[in-house]
Amino acid sequence: MKDSEGYPKISGVWASPPGEGFQLELACQIAGQTTYFARFLADCQDESVSLELTVQGQPIRIPVDRLEELISAAKKDVHSETWYDNNPPLESGS
């Protein structure tokens, strides 16, 4: 991925906050400062791993299994406008 505005280099930082287990925090540089914006963590009940984002001050957890499904769909079906300009839909003959 590009290392420019909108595409900062993302790093993973291992962390072990007291009482929260072992986590992988995602960080990038914004205006010269390290900003932590998400973390992978395990559920204490079943060890399922989730990606936790903070949205309007509230934690939102996405199970990694669901995230993998969404990434797979995105890789297959998300395209830029340029792609659609170069790949017009086929006319259906009814």
**Domain map (residue ranges) of the chain:** 11-86
- The model's pLDDT over 4-27, given as tens digits with 9 standing for 90+, comes to 667 889 999 999 999 889 999 999
With 0-12 / 13-18 / 19 or more C-beta atoms within 10 angstroms meaning exposed / middle / buried, residue 22 is exposed
For residue 44, the SS3 value is coil
Closest by Cα among 33, 51, 31, 34 to 43: 51
pTM: 0.78
For 18, the token pair is 């007291």
pLDDT of residue 92: 67
- The model's pLDDT over 35-57, given as tens digits with 9 standing for 90+, comes to 999 999 999 999 999 999 989 99
Closest by Cα among 59, 61, 42 to 51: 61
